[in-house]
Amino acid sequence: GGSGRIVASDGTSPAVLVRTGNVTCSGGGTGTPRQADLVVEEGSVTVISGCRITGNVWARDGVTISGNSNITGNVVGSSLNFGGTAVIGGSAWIRGNSAIDNAGGNLISGNLTTRTRSGSGNLGSIVRGTTSITSPADPGPSPFTKPTVPDWVDVAYDPADW
């Protein structure tokens, strides 16, 4: 729960880069009106309970978005679980299955590219752009450039400075 804001000190677009682990945004967490991307190199992303990510989301594993939550940019992942009045402001590119139900005001403002789709209802009322289901073929590389997650860097410091 709770809320938070990500702001770059120099006015550039910030990004949260996670090497390993799963990330959950729950509650009123937001980026700024500028883009604030989230990249999870080895893990999944869950966006629930009113969380708003102002930017793009990349996850090696699955992406879940539900519960009146919003990702304003594009979504890239190995799977997508999408429901409960959720909004993707850009497009979704999913290497595996997209579990999408036509309920609760779900919306993908751009295109949906996915290998398979499960769920009920007509995607035409959810996806504003085009829908491409590529099964059995892999959908190919994502058209969205993922920021590089650097290796861990230990910063030298003098404990006396703190």
How do residues 113-148 score in pLDDT, each as one tens digit?
A: 999 999 887 787 899 999 999 988 888 888 888 888
What is the spatial distance between Cα 74 and Cα 15, in angstroms, rounded to a whole number? 14
What are the Cα distances from residue 12, in Å, to 15, 33, 90? 10, 11, 21
Residue 40: which pLDDT band, with cuts at 50, 70 and 90?
very high
Give me the sign of the Cα torsion angle 63, 129, 74, 36: negative
CA distance readout (Å), 56 to 101, 139, 148: 22, 19, 14
What is the structure's pLDDT at 149? 85
Give the pLDDT band (50/70/90) at residue 160.
Answer: confident
Rounded to an integer, the average pLDDT of 2-26 is: 79
pLDDT at residue 103, rounded to an integer = 66
pLDDT at 151 over 90: no
Residue 154 token pair: 């230990």
pTM score of the predicted model? 0.84
Which residue from 102, 100, 96 is spatially nearest to 135, judged by alpha carbons? 96
